[in-house]
Amino acid sequence: MCDVVSRVAGDPSVPEANRRAFLKALGVTAAAGGIAAAGMGTARAERAPSSGRGVRGRTRLVLLGTAGGPTLTQSQRSGVSTAVAYGDRVYVVDLGLGAMLRLRQSSLTPQDGTASTFSRVRGIFFTHLHSDHVTDWPAVYATGPMNATGRPEGAPIQVWGPGDRGSLPPFRGRPGTEPAVYNLSQPTPGTAAMTAYLTQAWAADFNDRARDSGFPGPQSLFTVHDVPAPVPTPPSGVPPRISPFPVWQDGEVTVTATLVDHRPTAPAFGFRFDTPDGSIVVSGDTGVSENLVELAQGADYLVHEVIDPDWIDRLVATLPATIGEPLRAHLLESHTAIDRVGRDVAEPAGVRNLVLTHLVPAENPEGRWRQAARGYSGRLVVGRDLLELAVG
């Protein structure tokens, strides 16, 4: 979503009045988006418990941030980030804006007054490299070693994310308006290369602290890997049909992944975490994906992104048809609409609980999101920051 939004907002062919209306629609409030919820279909659309912190259970799902997209509006939700805990082991998927603070506030961090935010984190996983999913990574990378009090020595945090795509996606704008390419020598860096650039960017800080106070540097805490995509990325960004593939085995925790459809961004991953207590799947950003349905088969929890098609209609209405209709098509192809996430993803996957996150727009009334229960026979939970759910 973010690449299209920025392109439309800066397109000189869009009249100024349309551009203002477009930007206003991006920050639509609950009142503007207040569409009454209809029947709940066959699913049990349950309201989350009023206090979700510190639920019992060896395996837990913790929503750190639940807002989707890079725009900052009136929502109190932090950027998208999801954690899976197995005992004292913590695995974090994506680091949207505010994720580090949410991790500090959650029950996953010892509340003993020490700088222990990363004392229990074993792995960090990036579904894709859009800014709203990695914005907190520079902060985590730069300050992590100073916020890992109580962590066992010699146990680095394993970081996994997409590798270098190798080619730019096709340009979909008007002929003659193709933008200049950023970082021409390496225009599509993967997770490892992105992190190497961070080391360069923060060199003054790292050198100062190393020479003045013996700061060990971020390499002492993080080991960064590019997830090897099982197949090459096609120019369209639409992944081929594949089976889930292994990423990491951390004792009793097994992490597998698949390619999801966040066209044209690729590779984009969904991740599954299996423990002796059950399984949690995190979709990342995606349209309806058969690969994801296979990855999520029989899972206890599917944490899935969702977008409101009525909000898309309001957004598109502010733009000329030549721009608005391609925007509509893109948003509906690369994200999953309310009426499809339960019926077309969670139900065929046979998941017990569908948890909605990456909510676009973040200010929608909760009743609107509950329409995702239609066509789904499991339990629906509308995510909120710091909500905890037990597995098993």
Structure tokens at 222: 């993080």
Report the distance separating Cα 40 and Cα 69, nearest Å.
27
Report the distance separating Cα 17 and Cα 326, nearest Å.
20
Please report the pLDDT score of residue 290 as a whole number.
98
Please report the pLDDT score of residue 24 as a whole number.
58
Structure tokens at 203: 């060199």
Quote the percentage of the chain above a pLDDT of 70.
86
Instruction: State the DSSP code for 345.
Output: I
Alpha helix ranges (H) inside the chain? 2-9, 16-26, 99-105, 131-134, 137-143, 191-201, 203-213, 290-295, 309-316, 321-334, 338-340, 347-349, 366-369
Q: Which residue has the tokens 């759910």?
A: 389
> CB–CB of 145/218 below 8 Å?
yes
Q: If DSSP codes are grouped into helix, strand and coil, which group holds residue 177? A: coil
What pLDDT digit, counting tens, does each position of 71-124 carry?
Answer: 777 788 999 999 999 999 999 999 999 999 999 999 999 999 999 999 999 999
Alpha helix ranges (H) inside 203-249? 203-213
Please report the pLDDT score of residue 1 as a whole number.
55
Structure tokens at 277: 């207590």
Report the distance separating Cα 274 and Cα 84, nearest Å.
10
Report the distance separating Cα 222 and Cα 99, nearest Å.
17
Report the distance separating Cα 26 and Cα 45, nearest Å.
27
Per-residue pLDDT for 199 more than 60? yes
What pLDDT digit, counting tens, does each position of 310-354 carry?
Answer: 999 998 998 888 788 888 888 999 999 999 999 999 999 999 999
What pLDDT digit, counting tens, does each position of 28-39 carry?
Answer: 433 333 323 333
Q: 203-213 and 191-201 helices cross at what angle (nearest 10)?
A: 60
Please report the pLDDT score of residue 46 as a whole number.
44
Please report the pLDDT score of residue 40 as a whole number.
36
Report the distance separating Cα 302 and Cα 385, nearest Å.
16
Q: CB neighbours of 296 closer than 8 A, spacing ≥ 6?
A: 270, 272, 281, 302, 345, 346, 349, 351
Please report the pLDDT score of residue 33 as a whole number.
34
Please report the pLDDT score of residue 182 as a whole number.
93
- Rounded to the nearest 5°, which phi and psi values hold at 222? -115, 135
Nearest Cα to Cα of residue 266 among 307, 230, 301, 294: 230
Amino acid at 147: N
Report the distance separating Cα 232 and Cα 267, nearest Å.
9
Q: What residue ranges define each of the domains in the chain, with the CATH number in brackets?
A: 43-165+190-391 (3.60.15.10)
Please report the pLDDT score of residue 266 as a whole number.
93
Report the distance separating Cα 324 and Cα 316, nearest Å.
5
Amino acid at 390: A
Please report the pLDDT score of residue 173 as a whole number.
75
What pLDDT digit, counting tens, does each position of 155-173 carry?
Answer: 999 999 999 998 888 887 7
Please report the pLDDT score of residue 392 as a whole number.
85
What pLDDT digit, counting tens, does each position of 213-237 carry?
Answer: 998 999 999 999 999 988 988 888 9
Report the distance separating Cα 313 and Cα 270, nearest Å.
27
Report the sign of the C-alpha dihedral through residues 15, 18, 24, 25, in that order. Answer: negative
Report the distance separating Cα 259 and Cα 130, nearest Å.
15
Please report the pLDDT score of residue 29 as a whole number.
37
Report the distance separating Cα 149 and Cα 116, nearest Å.
5
30, 31, 36, 42 alpha-carbon torsion, rounded to 10°: 0
Please report the pLDDT score of residue 13 as a whole number.
57
Please report the pLDDT score of residue 175 as a whole number.
84
Report the distance separating Cα 340 and Cα 349, nearest Å.
13
Report the distance separating Cα 40 and Cα 367, nearest Å.
10
Q: 16-26 and 2-9 helices cross at what angle (nearest 10)?
A: 150
Amino acid at 73: T
Would you place residue 56 in the very low, low, confident or very high pLDDT band (cuts 50, 70, 90)? confident
> CB–CB of 335/286 below 8 Å?
yes
Report the sign of the C-alpha dihedral through residues 35, 39, 43, 48, in that order. Answer: positive
Please report the pLDDT score of residue 25 as a whole number.
60
Strands 269-275 and 253-259: antiparallel
> CB–CB of 117/95 below 8 Å?
no
What pLDDT digit, counting tens, does each position of 113-127 carry?
Answer: 999 999 999 999 999
Per-residue pLDDT for 48 more than 50? no
